[in-house]
Amino acid sequence: MKFGILVNEGPYQHQASDSAYQFCAAAIARGHTVQRVFFYHDGVNNSTRLTEPPQDDRNIVQRWSRLAEQHGVDLVVCVAAALRRGIKDENLAPGFRISGLGQLVEVGIQADRVVTFGD
């Protein structure tokens, strides 16, 4: 099955990002495909390389970057939501790219299911 994922919440304010990541990892482990993760609203905060959690805490941004590198998952950050929060190409973590809502529409058409995490 091909999945599209929508993440609407930031990495440390809400469980949505952790849940989305765990869902993606489990789906991939079971042989499914995660075509794209689209980060929208506060979810764009998952993409910034400026995040530095304490050493004893999970590094959610790094997890997403590894998922993209190891499994070819397309990590797309909404351009309008990113710019509102001061996120630009130069401060994106590895594996993320900025694009428009058309990428969300496209994965909605191509995927078998789109799963949303966060409000």
Whether the pTM exceeds 0.85: the reply is yes
Q: What string of pLDDT tens digits covers the 119 residues of the chain?
A: 999 999 999 999 899 999 999 999 999 999 999 999 999 999 999 999 998 888 888 999 999 999 999 999 999 999 999 999 999 999 999 999 999 999 999 999 999 999 999 99
Q: How many CB atoms lie within 10 A of CB 67?
A: 19
- Predicted pLDDT of residue 56: 87
Tell me, what's the pLDDT at 5?
98
Q: Is 24 marked active-site?
A: no
- Among 78, 87, 93, 104, which one carries the catalytic annotation? 78
Domain span at 53: 2-117
Cβ contacts of residue 48 below 8 Å, gap of 6+? 61, 87, 91, 92, 93
Contacting residues for 33 by C-beta, under 8 A, at least 6 apart: 1, 2, 3, 27
- Predicted local confidence at residue 52, as pLDDT: 87
CATH number for the domain spanning 13: value is 3.40.1260.10
* Helices 16-29, 60-71: inter-axial angle, 10-degree rounding: 20
Question: The tokens 């590198």 sit on which residue?
Answer: 69
When divided into structural domains, the chain yields a total of 1
